[in-house]
Amino acid sequence: MNTVRRSGNGIFSMNGREWSLLVACLLAITIFSVASPHYATSGNAVTVLRNSVELLLIGLGMTLLLAMGGIDVSIGIVMGLAAIAIGRILGADGSPFLAIVAGPMAGAVLGCVTAAVVVLGRVPAIVGTLGLLGVYRTAVFVLLGGQWLSGLPSSLTDLLSTTVLGIPVAAFAIAVAYLAVWLALRRTPYGLHLLAIGNSEEKARLSGIPVVKIRFATFVISGVLTGIAATFYVATYRNVEMTIGSTLALDAIAAVILGGTSILGGRCSLIGTVLGVLLLRILQNGLLLIGIPSLWQPVVTGVLILGVLGFEAVSNRLPLARFQRARA
């Protein structure tokens, strides 16, 4: 059991990695505040937080997937498809309640499709989801018929911004999603099994863990979270554009890796993902405000992924890390 590390066992307990992420966030904020007069405004803070919502929800699902040794590069377009489903229902009906159910439902169905290919078909997750990414992209285009879905009624927006006890419903929804994922990961057998599969699928199977079921469920959970993200997307922008979600998968992978979840599986941190999402969005927003064109964003994200993984690889080889491992 030594190798299945449950770092950050409490809801908000943080380890060194997570503290340093928090420091990195603060450092980035300080630097950007000095560099740009438009940065340190309350309006910009709201923008950054607002832009983090979808990524956070998708990042939670991606944390589970990566911890299990899986990945899903089609997840951004899955959000696009779910957003189209929500938009169509909202446009036809106007009732926000049906629309709220539609997102997670669409996400769950698409999660089942992905799981059927990757888990039941026993196809490597990266290749399977890359193929599905192509299919989904065509589906988005065909469903939208070459034009934006726009001018959707504001009923969903109104519902999510209703305040209860002074806090918007949206914030409650995000908190509940986080709590649910945390509980599943840290307080149920599912979480232990997931990490064990991430560590070694073969060993997990031999010790009687229902590997196929757990892996299937994780893809569906990730789909449902993506569907919730789509609900927030439609509520905020009230339109669905052709290029929706095209960089979300990369951003989510970057945020999760930044957060300290091991791509080799078996180790993950939800609070790390939250901080990773914030750091990524702070960086993207700040770089834009100090005048770096948005075309550079995928470069920055890619370099972050490679930098963090490279740093981990090198620091794992340092004598101190070896010594600590030997002692453990």
Partner 1 sequence: MKTLRNLQGPALTLALLCGLWLIVILGLLALKPSVFNLGTVTTILQFSTILALVGLGQGLVILAGGTGIDLSVGGAVSLSAIIAMLCLKLGLPPVLLPVICILAGALLGAMNGWLVNGLALLPFIATLGTFFVYSGVALAVTGGAAQAGVPAWLLLWGRGVFLGIPVPFLTLAIPCFALAGLVLMATAWGRWIYAMGFNERSAKLVGIPVERVRFILYVLSGALAGAAGLVSIAWLGSGRPNIGQNLELESLTAAMLGGIVITGGRGGVGGVFAAVLLLVTLKTGLLQLNINTVWQVGIVGALLVFVLLADRLSQRWRS
In the complex with partner 1, which residue's Cβ is closer, 136 or 178? 136
Instruction: State the minimum distance, in angstroms, from the CB of residue 264 to partner 1.
Output: 7
How far apart CA 60 and CA 4 sit, in angstroms, is: 19
Does the footprint of partner 1 cover residue 290 (CB under 8 A)? no
Q: 81 with 246: CB under 8 angstroms?
A: no
Does the footprint of partner 1 cover residue 321 (CB under 8 A)? no
Instruction: State the minimum distance, in angstroms, from the CB of residue 313 to partner 1.
Output: 4
* CA torsion, ordered 308, 311, 317, 318, to nearest 10 deg: -130
How far apart CA 132 and CA 212 sit, in angstroms, is: 20
In the complex with partner 1, which residue's Cβ is closer, 212 or 264? 264
Per CB under 8 A, contacts with partner 1 among 214-253 are 250, 253
Does the footprint of partner 1 cover residue 122 (CB under 8 A)? yes
Among 132, 181, 204, 252, binds partner 1 (CB under 8 A): 132
How far apart CA 149 and CA 68 sit, in angstroms, is: 36
How is residue 68 annotated by DSSP? T
Does the footprint of partner 1 cover residue 323 (CB under 8 A)? no
Count, residues near partner 1 per rule CB under 8 A: 42
Other beta carbons within 10 Å of 326? 7
Instruction: State the minimum distance, in angstroms, from the CB of residue 119 to partner 1.
Output: 11
In the complex with partner 1, which residue's Cβ is closer, 134 or 189? 134
Per CB under 8 A, contacts with partner 1 among 44-83 are 71, 73
Instruction: State the minimum distance, in angstroms, from the CB of residue 3 to partner 1.
Output: 18
How far apart CA 240 and CA 134 sit, in angstroms, is: 19
- Quick one: CA dihedral 308, 314, 319, 322, positive or negative? positive
- Which amino acid does the sequence have at 16? G
With helix as H, strand as E and coil as C, how does 145-188 read?
CCCCECCCCCHHHHHHHCEECCEEHHHHHHHHHHHHHHHHHHCC
In the complex with partner 1, which residue's Cβ is closer, 12 or 311? 311
In the complex with partner 1, which residue's Cβ is closer, 9 or 315? 315
H helix runs in 187-247, sequence order: 189-199, 201-206, 211-237
Among 208, 291, 293, 319, binds partner 1 (CB under 8 A): 293
Among 135, 206, 212, 318, binds partner 1 (CB under 8 A): 135
Does the footprint of partner 1 cover residue 291 (CB under 8 A)? no
In the complex with partner 1, which residue's Cβ is closer, 91 or 298? 298
- Which amino acid does the sequence have at 45? A
Interface with partner 1 (CB under 8 A): 71, 73, 117, 121-124, 126-128, 130-139, 141-142, 250, 253, 257, 263-264, 293, 295-299, 301-303, 305-306, 309-310, 313-314
